[in-house]
Amino acid sequence: MSLQLKKAVGSDSTTFAPNDIVSYEQDGNFLLGIILEFKKPKFKILNMRGRELDLSVDRFHKIPAHSLATDKNTNSEKAEALQQLHDAAQKQSEQIELEQIWEHVQDDNRLYSNSELTELYFGSDSAMDHLSLRYALCNDRVYFKRRKQFFEARSQETVEELRKAIANQERKLALRQQFVDLFMQRVSGSTVVFPENLQTFVRILEDLAVDAPHLDNPKRKEAKELVNLLCSNLKLEQRGSVCEVAYELLERCKHFTPRTNVVLPRYRPAIGFTAEQLIAAEQVKIDTTLGYQNLSGLNCITIDDQSTLDMDDAVSIEQTKDGYILGIHISDVASYVHADSILDREAALRATSIYCPEQTINMLPDSLSCDRLSLREGLERPVLSCFFLVDTGFKPTFLEIKPSIISVKKRYSYDQVEKLLEGEFNDLLLLYNVGTSWETERFERGGFKVHKRDVSITVSEEGKVCLSALDENSPARGLIGELMILTNHAIANFAVKHGIDLIFRGQEAPASNASTTNVPLLEGPANDYAQRSRLKRSNIDVVPMPHATLGLEAYAQATSPIRRYHDLLNQRQILGFLRNGKPHYSRGELLDLLEKTSDHSKKANLISRSSKKYWLLRYLEQRMQRTDRITATVIRNDLANPLVELDEIFMPHLIRLRRKVGLGEKLLLRIVGVDARYEILRLEEVR
């Protein structure tokens, strides 16, 4: 259409008379009405739905040169005529090309009335043309900005931005429909996989389903719209909260299974690795000639859980004429995961491997953490070896630390070691005696042991949760625990002696708390909790400090470089000194890395704790099929609601009671309700 702007058209008419047709908006809809009469200060209007209402003049817009035919006598006839006009105008508005009008007026920098733009586009300002253009202008999201009864052409830049935004929105809606189609297929039994370009819809549903803290209001709104759309397609009545409905939808399409850990979508840790990171891991070449001493003839063993794949420490003990030489061998990760490499940066972001009952999220790709850097049986591996002289009384004394090559001769599980320690005298019993001797020495220095009941959690493929008691102080676990403390202390002392900055750990002496120290307690959970509550938080710094619980003047974790980033940094410092005469990082650089990884470490620890709690609550859900009764011990009674430790799962929980209870008192409780997804547990006492 060829456009010619006519001058002096004037603004829209503002005089009103009975039988004039007006348009107005209500709840986002355009409606037509006819003026019946004026009742100051409002006009009585009959709308196209046959309803009479009073509107102020600023609520409606007059359609020029049009009054309703006088032969329309009844309200229903008038409403029908208005509806016909509305429908015809809506249909015509769909054919209007607003871009043509915008191109003619975009540089004028002024406001235009509806009548002016109608005259420009159609050549006249008839009622039908005026109304259809008004509908087009009011529905427009690109070319014109509405300013009350007038319209302003948007700038070229703004129009381009809006065009892109609308195109993006249209693409997103098309993708959403693809997601809905695949979702319905999965609900019907298909095993079709959601492709990468549709994962954003999966994630937003997950976020809503688990009530993720990072889900902001716009995303929450978008997720709710998707839930409504899916429920509409399924003809599913929504019951419960919108989070619960989203969870049910993900179960229906078999995305969430009984083995799903809701903590992972709630906090979104990095789980897999990028293609670039995996390629970098595959390109790592283990060089056993890189200044290592070949000690592959040593009788090295590993002791871990049966399911452990990332084995980063091995031990050896050899008899001498004066006693023994103890070797603690730590996988050399620092020589192959180079500082500031793509793998190192990812490890820093993860801070630690995360051990969940249903899966392990490794800090490094599996090809390294579970294979080429793991101390696997029968394979030569580069390590950082710490050696100790052990006298006939089994007292260890630090000897030296050096890079070496070892070959693990035998892999043991903790259960196997427990049985072997009960048998004839062997190397394992030697190691146990060294560990016991070292523990005694620590206690003589002021260290002490803090007890805590714990469980090991396993989750079957079908989602069945099984618990088994876990004793961290069992002979086998205690053996390895003490040898690792010994090694970490030796590395810390070595660093102090040679002026090497490490990430040290320390802990102030326990607080003297009258509420816990002056109340006699029976042995058990209440006493254990009282002792733990006196402990101060551990500290991390690049200068050494005493560790009260361990009874040591200097301590630094360095025995798990596959699993913990701080251990990797410490190993890098020691190897730098051994090979080049100086540590890899300056103190300032180490402090920067410590600060950068702090939040990542906290998040990983939160995920680990929350995952454990989730599966313990899932265990209670499954247990309720057998019984809703559970016993507990009061471990704190100075709060408004006492804190109890639940038997079987050894989890603390606040409970409302109608009576006072004593510390250490045993309670019989009823599980009133439990929902592991949202950490809900309601208990009441059985009297």
pLDDT at 6: 39
Q: Are strands 300-304 and 396-413 parallel, antiparallel or unpaired?
A: parallel
Query: Which pLDDT score, from 0 to 100, does residue 614 have?
Result: 98
pLDDT in tens, 450-470: 888 899 999 999 999 999 999
- What type of residue is 687? R
3-state secondary structure (DSSP) of residue 396: strand
Q: What pLDDT does 340 receive?
A: 97
CA 341 to chain centre: 25
- Tell me whether strands 680-685 and 666-675 are parallel, antiparallel or unpaired: antiparallel
pLDDT value for 513: 53
For 304-323, how does the pLDDT look when each residue is reduced to its tens digit (9 = 90+)?
999 999 999 999 999 999 99
Q: What is the DSSP secondary-structure string of 229-290?
A: HHHHHHTPPP-S-HHHHHHHHHHHTTSS-TT--THHHHH----S--HHHHHHHHT----TTS
Listed range (385-399, 523-537, 567-581) with the worst mean pLDDT: 523-537
Residue 92 pLDDT exceeds 70: yes
Domain 611-685 has CATH 3.40.50.2300: no
CA distances from 384 to 241, 295, 496, 581 (A): 54, 11, 18, 16
What is d(CA 348, CA 566) in angstroms, rounded to the nearest whole number? 9
DSSP letter string, 115-138: HHHHHHHHSS--HHHHHHHHHHHH
| Cα angle for residues 363, 368, 370 (degrees, 5° grid) | 85
Q: What is the largest CA-CA distance in the chain?
A: 124
Average pLDDT, the chain: 93
pLDDT at 576 over 60: yes
Reading the block at residue 409, the tokens are 């001769």
* Phi, psi (deg, nearest 5) at residue 203: -65, -40
- pLDDT at residue 4 in the model: 46
The candidate with the shortest Cα–Cα distance to 530, out of 515, 545, 541, is 515
| pLDDT value of residue 515 | 44
Q: Which of 49-53, 118-122, 137-141, 490-494 shows the highest mean pLDDT?
A: 490-494
Q: Could you tell me the pLDDT band of residue 289, with boundaries at 50, 70 and 90?
A: confident
pLDDT at 232 over 60: yes
Model pTM score: 0.84
HEC secondary structure over 434-487: HHHHHHHHHHHCCCCCCCCCEEEEEECCCCCEEEEEECCCCHHHHHHHHHHHHH
- At 64, the pLDDT band (50, 70, 90 cuts) reads confident
Q: Cα torsion for 365, 371, 374, 380, to the nearest 10°?
A: -140
Structure tokens at 458: 């396993």
Task: Identify the band that residue 149 occupies on the pLDDT scale cut at 50, 70 and 90.
Answer: confident
Q: How confident is the model at residue 5 (pLDDT cuts 50, 70, 90)?
A: very low
Q: Are 666 and 633 in contact (CB under 8 A)?
A: yes
Would you kindly state where each structural domain of the chain is located, as residue ranges? Answer: 20-154, 159-256, 275-503+542-610, 611-685
Smallest CA-to-CA distance from 39 within 16, 13, 66 is with 16
Q: What average pLDDT does the segment 3-7 reach?
A: 42
Q: Each residue of 457-479: b (16+ CB within 10 Å) or e? A: bebeeeeebebeeeeeebbbbbb
Rg (CA), the chain: 37
Burial class of 146 by CB neighbour count within 10 A (0 to 12, 13 to 18, 19+): exposed
- For 607-632, the DSSP string reads HHHHHHHHHHHHHHHHHTTT-SEEEE
13 and 66 Cβ atoms separated by less than 8 Å: no
Q: What is the pLDDT, as a whole number, of residue 471?
A: 87
CA distances for 475 relative to 303, 311, 439, 472, angstroms: 12, 20, 12, 9
Q: Is the backbone peptide bond immediately before 265 cis, with ω within 30 degrees of 0? A: no
- Residue 7 has a pLDDT of 37
Angstrom distances, CA of residue 318 to CA of 324, 427, 596: 5, 9, 42
pLDDT tens, 509-543? 997 654 444 455 567 899 999 999 999 999 999 99
Rounded Cα distance between 540 and 556, Å, is 9
User: Residue 522, Cβ neighbours under 10 Å: how many?
Assistant: 11
Q: By three-state DSSP, how is residue 330 classified?
A: strand
Q: Would you place residue 473 in the very low, low, confident or very high pLDDT band (cuts 50, 70, 90)?
A: confident
Return the pLDDT at 1.
Answer: 47
Q: Which parts of 67-126 fold into alpha helices (H)?
A: 75-93, 98-105, 114-122
Lowest-pLDDT range of 60-69, 213-222, 586-595: 60-69
Residue range 414-437: mean pLDDT, rounded: 92
Give the Cβ contact number of residue 511 at 10 Å: 11
pLDDT of residue 514: 42
pLDDT of residue 9: 37
H and E: helices and strands count for the chain: 19, 25
Token pair, residue 683, equals 């208990």
The arithmetic mean of pLDDT across residues 130-144, rounded, is 94
Q: Which residue has the higher pLDDT, 69 or 25?
A: 25
Q: What is the pLDDT of residues 605-616, one digit of tens each?
A: 999 999 999 999
Question: Measured between alpha carbons, how far is 555 from 504 in angstroms, rounded to an integer?
Answer: 6
Looking at residue 517, its pLDDT comes to 46
pLDDT of residue 19: 87
Residue 516 pLDDT: 46
Q: How far is CA 6 from the centre of its chain?
A: 61
Beta strands (DSSP E) in 488-640 are 504-507, 538-541, 629-636
**Average pLDDT of the residues in 272-285:** 97
Find tokens 């059985």 and name the residue. 686
Cβ-contact 575, 384 below 8 angstroms = yes
Tokens 């019993």 sit at which residue?
A: 429
